[in-house]
Amino acid sequence: MTSTPNERTEATSSQQGGAPEDLGAMTGNVVRFADLKSRPIPLMFIDSIIPGHQRHNYAVIGDTASENDSYEPFITSPHGFQVGVVRARQGNGPAYHTHDYIESFLPLKGRWRFYWGESADKVDGETILEEFDYVTLPPKLWRGFECIDPGESWIFAVLEKHEVYEGKDPYWAPSVIEKAREYGFEASENGKMIKPDNFAELERQMLDQFGDA
Ligand SMILES: [Fe+2]
Q: What is the pLDDT of residues 16-49, one digit of tens each?
A: 556 677 999 999 999 999 999 999 999 999 999 9
- CA–CA separation, 156 vs 213, rounded Å? 19
Per-residue pLDDT averaged across 192-198, rounded?
A: 96
- CA–CA separation, 186 vs 11, rounded Å? 49
CA of 107 to the centre of ligand 1 (A): 15
Strands 112-117 and 142-147: antiparallel
Please, what are the domains in the chain? 33-210 (2.60.120.10)
- The set of residues, in sequence order, having a beta carbon less than 8 Å from that of 139 and lying 6+ positions away, is 98, 99, 100, 101, 102
CA of 23 to the centre of ligand 1 (A): 33
CA of 170 to the centre of ligand 1 (A): 6
Residue 44 in contact with residue 207, Cβ under 8 Å?
no
Write down the pLDDT at residue 65: 75
CA of 119 to the centre of ligand 1 (A): 15
Between the alpha carbon of residue 20 and those of residues 6, 12, 67, 72, the distances in Å are 18, 10, 37, 24
pLDDT exceeds cutoff 70 at 179: yes
CA of 18 to the centre of ligand 1 (A): 38
Question: How far is C-alpha 119 from the chain's CA centre?
Answer: 23
CB atoms within 10 A of CB 148: 15
CA of 99 to the centre of ligand 1 (A): 6
CA of 55 to the centre of ligand 1 (A): 13
Q: What is the pLDDT of residues 78-135, one digit of tens each?
A: 899 999 999 999 999 999 999 999 999 999 999 999 999 999 999 999 999 999 999 9
Write down the pLDDT at residue 18: 60
Averaged pLDDT score across all residues of the chain: 90
pTM of the full predicted structure?
A: 0.89
The residue among 115, 113, 99, 102 whose CA lies nearest residue 172 is 99
**With bands split at pLDDT 50, 70 and 90, how would you rate the model's confidence at 14?**
very low
